[in-house]
Amino acid sequence: MNKIPFLLFLLFLTVEIFALPVAPSLEVWEKRPGKVYPITVEYPPENSKIGEGAKGIFIFGKTMGPGLLTINGQKIDLYPTGAYLGYVPVKPGKNELVLEYSSGDKTYQAVRNIEVQGIDKDQYFKTPHLLEGSAFPRGDSELSNTSEITFKVEASPYHKVTVSLPPLFDEMELEEEVLNPNIYKKTVVLGEDKILKSDKKPIYRIYTYGGKYKDKISAEGKIKILPENEIVKPAKVRGQNLRLRLQSNKSGGYDYQTRVFNTVLTEGKVNGFYKVILDDNKIGYLDQTLLDTKKKVSLPRNIIWQVDTQEDDNKTTIIIKNTERISFSTSQTDQSFGIILYNTQAINTFNRDVKTKLVSGLDYEVLSPTTKKITARFQNGKRLRGFNYRYEENNLIFELFTSRDFEFTSTLPLKKLRVVLDPGHSPKRSVPYDGAVGPSGLLEYEMNYKIALAVKKELEKYGALVFLTKDDKETLGLSDRTYRAGLFNPDLFLSLHLNALPDSINPLKRELGFSFYYYYQQGIPLAKAMEKSFSKNIGLPDNGYYQADFAVVRGMPQVPALLIESLYMMVPWQEELLKRQRFIDLLASTIAEGVLYFENPKWAQKNIPLQMESRRKNLEETILKAEDINSNEKR
């Protein structure tokens, strides 16, 4: 056989197999609406970078209809609409996800390229290595000579690993974790004679257990070790109204109740985060960039010289007149609102006999020599709707809001209730989108606005006054949304969203449905009322309600504020629900019912089962059990 034509044939075959077209997404096929693409991938975007450590990634999009779909040879379930949601394994580095779709006698192929950041640790650790970036500390640390220090690094398993911190010590052997032999660590107390005033980077080394040296790395951060009496010192806060982190890292979460002002007491730092001590019961962390530790300062010695109160309609104002600005925490229960004041020596005048529509009296407690607490007790049957706070010079002012005297009637059970609806996300019709996307290319911002209009219409039937933070053409920042909401002087704030998962989470192993998120405690009863309504009316899994640090609910302390995730639009059959106006109407009536349960429970208890239960049953028959969107009908 002639070799040249045969080699050309093989070359042609290779090009046919491997030069596959990139699977298009909404950005592409929206520009060419007349063209039908056999395979689309809406997520992940082409050439997207996936976080380090991902072992798998979900992928979703659409084909032309029923048939057989595989991704890298793995069979993926197709829904009757042609939409799919799969989860496929990936490895560090560049990955080609090859999609093959067969419909009848035709087969189509496409590819989606992604990159998983990081290295393949299994391959990397086959030879003795220390993992760059894993050594303690990753940020600069300033520690006491009497405190515990945990040296830690990630390395190839079953080797000898040491750490050196010259001139204090050389080659201290670390211990392997039993359940995770890639982690080596040791916790020590260096002792009173160990001082390191010029900061140094620890050096980690790895040897075979036969004693042969193989590799070394330095930590990214430096360590300074000082006497205990030099570690504890005041520091000036850069900025005002800062929030403490719960741990010494950027993913440690925030303390929801505490705000930091002026000067604070620090006790060293770990990985670039200073430990902040407000009192024995309130400890947190601030990024080193938020504190000035070089200037010599003193802690506030605040004196509260007077506490005044004022009443205006549904608002009680507590004015705490201080000699200095101080850090504080708040605490809430159903019957009270507490203000904990740090670095405060004493209070001069205090009137306990305060009476307003909301408050039945004030209490004063001495929690420690420098920590005081003022508690506002509520009148029986009264509920804190929300609060605001601010400093005017050194005076700390809290505004406590209770419900207005609504003119609810039997025919208008939400008469004059002022509700702000925030349609989540802004218009962006190219990757990366602002918000989630569905398998067939629905964009979250469009659907949120459509749902908001339906909710507005439903609430207005009951007499509510409804304001939307934006329309579907506006791009608006999160703080601008809450600013606009505040101008409306609302009684309630609802941010409307549709959910998605982080890209390395397997969606096929989870029950995906609705969920609710609040920031301040006054949002909990609203979350419970909304969960009750969704559980009764929507045929989706109940994923619960949670406290979360979302800016739109954090920015509305003056009212009950809730972020609603109605469903997961990445799930094909749930995305299909959004295409039915009847389901949009069901969502609207469900959200309105949640508001009714929260605001006017007596009317809701008497009327809702008659008005909305029958509507739900009709919608179930026409929507939730429709053959073309039932999750049990996928093939």
Alpha helices in 385-474 (DSSP H): 444-461
Comparing 140-154, 432-446, 477-491, 606-620, the range with the smallest average pLDDT is 606-620
- Tens of pLDDT, residue by residue over 173-222, are 999 999 999 999 999 998 878 899 889 999 999 999 888 999 999 999 99
DSSP string, 124-174: HTTS--B-TT-SSPSS-EEEETTSEEEEEEEB-SSSEEEEEETTTEEEEEP
Per-residue pLDDT tens over the stretch 402-426: 988 888 999 999 999 999 999 999 8
- 3 state DSSP class of 459: helix
Q: Which residue from 460, 443, 422 is spatially nearest to 569, judged by alpha carbons?
A: 443
pLDDT recorded at residue 350 = 83
**Which spans in 428-568 are helix H?**
444-461, 478-487, 523-537, 551-554
Tokens of 218: 């330095």
For 461-470, write each residue's pLDDT tens digit. Answer: 999 999 999 9
Percent share of the chain, pLDDT over 70: 93
Q: Give residues with Cβ within 8 angstroms of 101, minimum separation 6.
A: 38, 39, 63, 64, 67, 68, 69, 107, 108, 109
Q: Per-residue pLDDT averaged across 122-144, rounded?
A: 93
Residue 4 has pLDDT above 60, yes or no: no
What tokens were used for 451? 């749902």
Domains in the chain, start-ordered, CATH in brackets? 19-116 (2.60.40.10), 122-226 (2.60.40.10), 229-292 (2.30.30.40), 302-402 (2.60.40.3500), 418-633 (3.40.630.40)
The span from the CA of 135 to the CA of 151, in Å, is: 8
Token pair recorded at residue 538:
């929507």
> Measured between alpha carbons, how far is residue 528 from residues 542, 545, 549 in Å?
12, 8, 18
Model confidence at 367, in pLDDT bands (50, 70, 90)?
Answer: very high
CA dist., res. 282 & res. 174, Å (int) = 33
Is residue 128 over pLDDT 60? yes
Work out the end-to-end distance of the chain between its first and last CA atoms, rounded to an integer number of angstroms.
Answer: 46
- pLDDT average, residue stretch 117-140: 92
